[in-house]
Amino acid sequence: MQSIKQFIEQFITAEYDFSCAEYSMEITDEACQKIAAKVNALIYYLQYERVASIAERKGDEQWEQRCKMKVEKIIPRTLFQIKHYENPVLGDALKRIVTGKDIYGCYVSYPYKGGRDLYFSSIFYVSETNEGLKIIYKKSFNSDAGTWYHPVDLDTVTVIDEGQLIAVEKYLAPEEATSLEDYNKE
């Protein structure tokens, strides 16, 4: 699982770099697009991009203050654990791109500072695809209810069932109670 850990750490760094660049008034739209390309190369289901042009916002004091506050809250995600599964049940769109029988669930935190204990935010599912290793899907965690849910309601792009659990590597326990309970299941 070392290669999966290195891959997800590469994604976490690329996502963090993009998130900081997205709201930085010092980084041009073109430079931000290049930073986004690095994170987008690692993920199948989503494209990161700057939602508003910084060039159009420079000089707008309210917008500049908002961006500054956003950048101050951005943190790299914490990797809690990786679970290795075999023979997952995938939606049709994922079946077309996944080339192996293994998927890896990478449990991570939220990418922003908050007032809560460190908790699960998402599982990024990583698998070998026809374009190499990619994040193929993301599942989200409702820490208030202690349940995982699919943020997309389309079976075609969903990891419907993870398959058989083969191994678990734990790196750091979450602090929040419902996340910790889920973490300690296996």
Q: Model confidence over 36-88: pLDDT tens digits?
A: 999 999 999 778 888 777 878 888 899 889 989 999 999 999 999 999 999 99
Contacts of 161 (CB under 8 A, 6+ apart): 88, 89
Percent of the chain with pLDDT over 90: 69
Cα(174)–Cα(155) distance, rounded to whole angstroms?
29
Q: What is the pLDDT of residues 104-140, one digit of tens each?
A: 999 999 999 887 788 889 999 999 999 999 999 999 8
Q: What are phi and psi of 170, to 5 degrees?
A: -105, 135
Cα(25)–Cα(71) distance, rounded to whole angstroms?
10
**Please, what's the largest Cα pairwise distance for the chain?**
55
Tokens of 26: 């010092």
pLDDT of residue 153: 67
Domains of the chain, by residue range, sit at 2-73, 79-183
pLDDT of residue 137: 94
CA distances 110 to 75, 118, 124, Å, are 8, 8, 12
Compute the Cα dihedral for 34, 38, 43, 44 and give only its sign: positive
pTM confidence score: 0.92
